[in-house]
Amino acid sequence: MPRKIALVGVGKIAVDQHIPALNASSEWELSAAVSRNTVVDGVPNFTDMDEMLKAHPEVEVVSLCMPPVPRFAYAQAAIAAGRHVMLEKPPGATLSEVHTLADLATKAGLTLYATWHSREAAFVKAAKAWLVGKTIKSFTVTWHEDVRKWHPNQDWVFEAGGMGVFDPGINALSIVTEILPDPIHLKSSVLDFPENRDTPISAQLDFYHPHGGTVTADMNWDHSGDDVWQIEAVTDAGVLTLKNGGGVLLIDGVVQTGAEDGLSGEYPNLYANMARLVADAASDVDLRPMLHVSDALTLGKRNVVKAFDW
């Protein structure tokens, strides 16, 4: 029997990814939704989280898809009501609040899953396997996209806690922390803040690598043209290039085959992971990508650039 799940926060990512993934899964039954503005067809809809939890005790799992700032209170309420919790990325507004949620879930014997959808792109596992045992000479992340395309008129991304360019940039960092054989940490960052916004629109990051490799990231959220989601690793045994956010892999310029679903498997894989975690009474709360963002904001040299308007 499929497990019953509720979706909380029905915005663009929920409509584009979560709902289709749940509807296609044999492991899940979408049984309720909570949103202030959107109704999901075919299920009971609520505007209040507590009302949903009281009305649907049969719902085992709550998947939280709202922006990071309000998410803690919703996750805390779900755990207090005895529900397993799945968190859209980034898992919270701060590291401390996610640590608190992890402690609450552990004490309650519940699953907490901090998801990183980009790790589920088709060739991320293959890239990780290829890099094992190789010496990194340089590792370059280029992550350019247009906020107007992916978050149209969503001012929360530029408000405190919204993370700005790190909302997409953390996707790159989730792949980096998954595939690099050695741990890295940030040495310096340069952040461009529009004069009328609270979060950066672009970032340049420089990392320490334990074996002397050069590791950098160039992130831009005011990009025109096609999205650029690329990671290139120059090693002693050749060059690995991940394109399209991990959906395409090249080794020494040769396109690799064997995983043809590109990015389409990301969210189905996340929900399959959640089903396994609940079945195993386990949690998965890897905060390394978010730690790099926190370090970037701590170390960042701030540049004020022209105002950003939609």
The tokens 């790099």 sit on which residue? 292
Crossing angle of helices 95-108 and 288-299, in 10° steps, is 150
In whole angstroms, what is the distance from residue 118 CA to residue 25 CA? 19
Strand partners, 53: none
CB 259 within 8 A of CB 123: yes
Which residues are CB-neighbours of 23 under 8 A, at least 6 positions away? 30
Active site residue 306: no
Per the residue annotation, which of 4, 12, 54, 89 is the catalytic one? 89
Please give the backbone phi and psi of residue 7, each rounded to the nearest 5 degrees, phi first.
-105, 125
Catalogue the long-range contacts made by 72-78 (C-beta closer than 8 Å, 24 or more residues apart): 72/97, 72/100, 72/101, 74/8, 74/9, 74/49, 75/101, 75/112, 76/100, 76/101, 76/104, 77/49, 77/50, 77/53, 78/49, 78/53
3-state SS class at 23: helix
- Sheet strands side by side (includes 254-255): 254-255, 248-251, 238-243, 228-235, 136-144, 214-220, 202-208, 185-194, 300-305
Q: How many CB atoms lie within 10 A of CB 229?
A: 24
How far apart are the C-alpha atoms of 5 and 22, rounded to whole Å?
A: 9
Among candidates 143, 300, 107, which has minimal Cα distance to 232? Answer: 143
Residues identified as active-site: 89
